[in-house]
């Protein structure tokens, strides 16, 4: 327990120092992406790993977060931090609209429904003139400041903002795991009927898990919009994004607080490097590599990579 | 009001099959009720109607005077009716303590409190040495006991136990009987569903016998074992005729 805390502190200290050692844009960008996907992976883990409801639609929350911020800022000049909060609100709303009917069904209906939801949201934004349709939205350039959530001379503040988001996500996940919520999620995953017999309203608790997942993903959408300053349906609401989140959580170990962080540290460099070195010809090669990783993991270490770390530190 | 549960004309159909046909009986507070009958008699179906996994097609179920026929399983647990399943449904990936904690959380939302409560319940059920074992590593009889412990941790007034003694050896049945008596002593009302009579007869205050979806007898264990229809249902016509001849 104590040892785990020390490792965690060392890990965060290393993340804080990292940009002072690596001053080039690429390694910084790489870490930003790792932390961004780690945060989203934690969000995915809450619904998929803890509560056991596999979602292939989390990209919808990423998109809603990004679009809410971008639309409000570009059309009404509303501050992106407020956009972030409103994005969370709309993402939660989507989670409730999708989850409420689906969580009454058993088994894998939810997983299938989430694929449809992700696709529908993407189609909606692709055809919605007001939101820039397929072309997307450019975010107006503002003076650089924390208040404006924009930095042009250096990417460093983005780095620390996403680091704070990752810490926040870990904290949320920790709080969930150590509270009744986390125990109930695991019970629902293990045996929903048994959970019901002990007074757990399983639909409501699945909904809570989905909303938490939506919020953590939506926040990342806002960050992404402010980081790249240009969003369109293909780079925000892609089925592949949803699948990547699932893979990240799987690699690290489902239902483990730190699992998705480990997953992101393996997954994102792989994607970025294949993209950089193989260019567009390399598209798909990363996926072949993940497939191999997952096959290896499934046979050698079904608990995910976290199992190795937990074992060596205990 | 001394009747904590009233089953009033309950009917449940599965398509053309009538699994429960106009069943009525009352359950007195603090008593042990045995619900018995041969395989396929409709015991589990009635049990599931009471625990609201099924909603009855006809009739009513009253708990503390309130109609619970259309309640949900989690709803009635919160109202004070706990249950176990005919086929064990523990949380296999969780430890013994965690299993009981899931029950304890219902009335103790904080983790520390729930853990305390769960440890108390665990001690009562003889699990103090096994708190950190994975539930799936327990023997079947321990798993059944864990299911009861878990349900007890929700603080029920009524406990429904479906075939708690099936698959246990004589020694384990003995233990289960002691456990049930201990629970009654603490003021819990129990409904035991069994198809083997041996477990229920010595301890039940009242026995309700189902056969082919109908209630064929109700009374004290002594009254019921000498009931002709019960003997016929359980042992068939041959035994029935033989006994007739002997007593004649
Ligand atoms: N979900 C269902 N769908 C269709 N028929 C069912 C269903 N559940 C039970 N039945 C039928 O209803 C009748 C009563 O079954 P039930 O399980 O209630 O009997 P039981 O008394 O619990 O038997 P056992 O001692 O074997 O547990 C049986 O004929 C059974 O096949
Ligand atoms: Mg049965």
Mutate which of B44, B48, B102 to disrupt the A interface (most A C-beta within 10 Å)? B102
Show the beta-strand stretches assigned E in A168-266.
Answer: 230-231
Q: B246 pLDDT exceeds 60?
A: no
What is the rounded average pLDDT for all residues in chain B? 90
Helix A109-127 and helix A80-102, axial crossing angle in degrees, nearest 10: 140
Which residue of A lies nearest to B80 if distances are taken between CA atoms? A199
Q: A287 pLDDT exceeds 80?
A: no
> Averaged over B127-136, what is the pLDDT?
94
Chain B residues in contact with A200 (beta carbon < 8 A): 74, 102, 106
pTM over 0.80: yes
pLDDT of residue A302: 60
In this prediction, what percent of chain B has a pLDDT beyond 90? 73
List the residue whose alpha carbon is closest to atom 30 of ligand 1: B40
For chains A and B, count residue pairs whose Cβ atoms are closer than 8 Å: 75
Which residue of A lies nearest to B77 if distances are taken between CA atoms? A199
Which one has a higher pLDDT value, B36 or A314?
B36
Q: B116 pLDDT exceeds 60?
A: yes
Atom of ligand 1 nearest to the CA of B193: 22
User: For ligand 1, is residue B45 a contact (CB within 6 Å)?
Assistant: yes
Answer yes or no: are the C-beta atoms of B159 and B152 closer than 8 Å.
yes
Q: Where are the domains of chain A?
A: 22-239
pLDDT of residue A309: 57
Note whether A202 contacts B102, CB cutoff 8 Å: no
What is the rounded average pLDDT for all residues in chain A? 89
The minimal CB distance from A183 to the residues B75, B89, B101 is found for: B101
Q: Residue B218: which of B31, B40, B35 has the closest Cα?
A: B35
Which one has a higher pLDDT value, A125 or B196?
A125
d(CA B212, CA B235): 14
Query: What number of other Cβ atoms are within 10 A of residue B30's Cβ?
Result: 16
Q: Residue B199: which of B134, B144, B139, B117 has the closest Cα?
A: B144
Q: Side-chain half-sphere of A129: how many Cα atoms within 13 Å?
A: 0
Query: What number of other Cβ atoms are within 10 A of residue A135's Cβ?
Result: 12
pLDDT of residue A304: 65
List the residue whose alpha carbon is closest to atom 26 of ligand 1: B39
Q: In what order do the strands lie in the sheet with B58-63?
A: B17-28, B3-14, B58-63, B66-67
List the residue whose alpha carbon is closest to atom 1 of ligand 1: B14
Question: For residue B60, what are its two tokens?
Answer: 């009513």
**Enclosing H/E stretch for A138:** strand A137-138
List the residue whose alpha carbon is closest to atom 28 of ligand 1: B40
User: For ligand 1, is residue B49 a contact (CB within 6 Å)?
Assistant: no
Show the beta-strand stretches assigned E in chain B.
Answer: 3-14, 17-28, 32-36, 58-63, 66-67, 81-83, 158-162, 189-194, 206-211, 214-219
Atom of ligand 1 nearest to the CA of B45: 18
From B10, B34, B44, mutation site for ligand 1 pocket: most ligand atoms within 8 A of C-beta: B44
Q: B241 pLDDT exceeds 60?
A: no
Q: A285 pLDDT exceeds 90?
A: no
List the residue whose alpha carbon is closest to atom 8 of ligand 1: B45
* DSSP collapsed to 3 states, A191-246: CHHHHHHCCCCHHHHHHHHHHHHHHHHHHHHHHHHHHHCEECHHHHCCHHHHHHHH
Which residues of A lie inside 8 Å of B (Cβ-Cβ)? 178-180, 183-184, 186-187, 189-191, 193-202
Answer yes or no: are the C-beta atoms of A251 and A297 closer than 8 Å.
yes
**How far does the CA of residue B85 sit from the closest CA of chain A (Å)?**
8
pLDDT of residue A236: 86
Mutate which of B48, B53, B74 to disrupt the A interface (most A C-beta within 10 Å)? B74
Which residue of A lies nearest to B152 if distances are taken between CA atoms? A198
Residues B155-211 pLDDT 10s: 999 999 999 888 888 888 888 899 999 999 999 999 999 887 778 888 999 999 999
Question: For residue B112, what are its two tokens?
Answer: 């520390």
Q: A163 pLDDT exceeds 60?
A: yes
d(CA A99, CA A118): 13
Q: Residue A34: which of A254, A301, A292, A220 has the closest Cα?
A: A220
Note whether B89 contacts A180, CB cutoff 8 Å: no
């Amino acid at each position: 327990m104590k040892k785990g805390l020390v490792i965690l502190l060392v890990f965060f200290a290393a993340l804080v120092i990292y940009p002072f050692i690596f001053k080039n844009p690429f390694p910084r960008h790489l870490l930003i992406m790792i932390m961004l996907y780690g945060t989203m992976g934690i969000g995915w883990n809450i619904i998929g790993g803890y509560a056991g409801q596999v979602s292939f639609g989390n990209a919808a929350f990423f998109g809603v977060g990004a679009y809410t911020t971008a639309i409000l800022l570009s059309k009404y000049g509303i501050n992106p931090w407020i956009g972030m909060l409103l994005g969370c609100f709309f993402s939660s709303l989507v989670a409730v609209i999708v989850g409420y009917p689906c969580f009454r069904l058993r088994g894998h209906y939810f997983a299938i429904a989430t694929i449809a939801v992700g696709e529908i949201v993407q189609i909606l934004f692709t055809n919605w003139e007001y939101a820039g349709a397929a072309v997307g939205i450019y975010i107006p350039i503002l003076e650089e400041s924390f208040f404006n959530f924009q930095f042009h001379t250096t990417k460093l503040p983005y780095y620390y903002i996403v680091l704070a988001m990752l810490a926040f996500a870990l904290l949320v996940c920790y709080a969930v795991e150590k509270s009744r919520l986390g125990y109930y999620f695991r019970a629902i995953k293990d045996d929903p009927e048994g959970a019901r017999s002990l007074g757990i309203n399983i639909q409501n608790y699945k909904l809570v898990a989905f909303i938490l997942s939506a919020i953590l993903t939506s926040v990342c959408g806002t960050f992404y919009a402010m980081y790249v300053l240009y969003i369109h349906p293909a780079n925000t609401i892609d089925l592949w994004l949803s699948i990547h989140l699932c893979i990240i959580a799987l690699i690290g170990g489902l239902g483990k607080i730190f699992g998705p962080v480990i997953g992101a540290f393996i997954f994102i460099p792989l994607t970025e490097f294949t993209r950089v070195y193989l260019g567009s010809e390399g598209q798909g090669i990363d996926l072949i590599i993940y497939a191999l990783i997952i096959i290896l993991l499934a046979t050698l270490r079904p608990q995910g990579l976290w199992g190795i770390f937990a074992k060596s530190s205990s | 009001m001394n009747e904590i549960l009233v089953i009033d004309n309950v009917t449940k159909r599965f398509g053309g099959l009538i699994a429960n046909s106009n069943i009525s009986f009352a359950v007195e507070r603090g008593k042990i009720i045995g619900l018995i009958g041969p395989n396929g008699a409709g015991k589990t179906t009635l049990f599931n109607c009471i625990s609201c996994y099924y909603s009855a097609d006809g009739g009513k179920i009253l708990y503390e005077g309130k109609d619970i026929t259309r309640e949900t399983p989690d709803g009635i647990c919160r109202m004070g009716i706990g249950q176990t399943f005919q086929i064990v449904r523990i949380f296999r990936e969780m430890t013994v303590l965690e299993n009981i904690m899931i029950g304890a959380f219902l009335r103790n939302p904080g983790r520390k409190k729930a853990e305390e409560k769960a440890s108390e319940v665990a001690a009562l059920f003889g699990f103090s040495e096994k708190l950190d074992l994975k539930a799936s590593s327990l023997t079947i009889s321990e798993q059944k006991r864990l299911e009861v412990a878990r349900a007890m941790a929700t603080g029920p007034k009524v406990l429904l136990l479906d075939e708690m003694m099936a698959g246990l050896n004589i020694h384990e049945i003995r233990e289960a009987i002691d456990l049930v008596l201990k629970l009654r002593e603490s003021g819990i009302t129990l409904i035991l569903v069994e198809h083997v009579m041996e477990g229920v007869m010595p301890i039940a205050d009242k026995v309700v016998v189902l056969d082919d979806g109908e209630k064929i007898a109700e009374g004290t264990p002594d009254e019921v074992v000498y009931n002709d229809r019960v003997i016929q249902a359980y042992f068939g016509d041959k035994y029935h005729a033989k006994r007739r001849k002997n007593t004649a």
